[in-house]
Amino acid sequence: MQIRELTIAGAFEVTPRQFPDDRGAFWEWYRFDALAEAVGHPLDLRQGNGSVSRRGVVRGIHFADVPPSQAKYVTVTAGAVIDYVIDIRVGSPTFGRWEAVRLDAVDRRAVYVGEGLGHAFVSLEDGSTVTYLVSEVFNPSAEHGITPLDETVALEFPAEAGEPLLSPKDLEAPTLLEARASGLLPTWGATTAYGRALDERWSAAR
């Protein structure tokens, strides 16, 4: 597989090598060792999630407190989505910026969303099925959101997604600047310090 770091530090695009034949196809959609080598530490898998979404559904922007946050490895098993990684780390040189990757059942890419980053996606087809491997179990008190319609973040949804469909919780979430003013966002310093600690722990264990 090919692993490419995105312009948002701590986020990676993973493109697997596929082996098609007359029976179908085979690919490795997750490799513990390859991801750890790229990131600096492994994904400490604690939970697996899945969602099925209609065309136009937007999920996010979601994030968790640092530490320990919740790193994510996201891929699509049916349909297609545009996956967004948003830098919400106060003090980061790319604070407020985002990058998007198309995830679908053709190229079968995945996105790794590191600790302290925001995550969202929009479904491009009915029945888009997203699978997430995450580094921490769900903790409602540590989970937060930013509205994906925030004009400061300005996520761009493709025309093929149609009208955005959001949950009331995501629609009513604060904007990026409101979340920063309330002290809700992770900081660049805390996130990088936590990442270094994970890297050092992994290096010592090898």
Which burial class, exposed, middle or buried, applies to 146 when counting CB atoms under 10 A from its CB (0-12, 13-18, 19+)? Answer: buried
All domains of the chain in start order, with CATH = 2-192 (2.60.120.10)
pLDDT value at position 206?
A: 82
pLDDT value at position 105?
A: 95
Contact criterion met (CB below 8 Å) for 98 and 54: no
Q: How far apart are CA 124 and CA 104, in angstroms?
A: 9
Active site residue 132: yes
Task: Give which of 27, 40, 4, 5 is closest to 76, Cα–Cα.
Answer: 27
Contact criterion met (CB below 8 Å) for 12 and 39: yes
By three-state DSSP, how is residue 188 classified? helix
Specify the length of the chain in residues.
206
Is 196's pLDDT higher than 90?
A: yes
Which burial class, exposed, middle or buried, applies to 183 when counting CB atoms under 10 A from its CB (0-12, 13-18, 19+)? Answer: exposed
Is 205's pLDDT higher than 90?
A: no
Across all residues in the chain, what is the average pLDDT? 97
Q: How far apart are CA 202 and CA 35, in angstroms?
A: 12
Active site residue 41: no
Which helix (H) or strand (E) segment is 15 a member of? strand 11-15
* Partners of residue 98 on adjacent β-strands: 86
Q: Which letter does DSSP use for residue 167 in this model?
A: -
Is 77's pLDDT higher than 90?
A: yes
| φ, ψ dihedrals at 71, nearest 5° | -70, 150
pLDDT value at position 1?
A: 93
Residue 133: how many CA atoms within 13 Å on its side-chain side?
Answer: 14
* Options 41, 62, 119, 144, the catalytic residue: 62
By three-state DSSP, how is residue 114 classified? coil
* Options 41, 112, 132, 144, the catalytic residue: 132
Q: Percent of the chain, pLDDT > 70?
A: 100
Cα angle value 45/62/53 (rounded, 5°) = 85
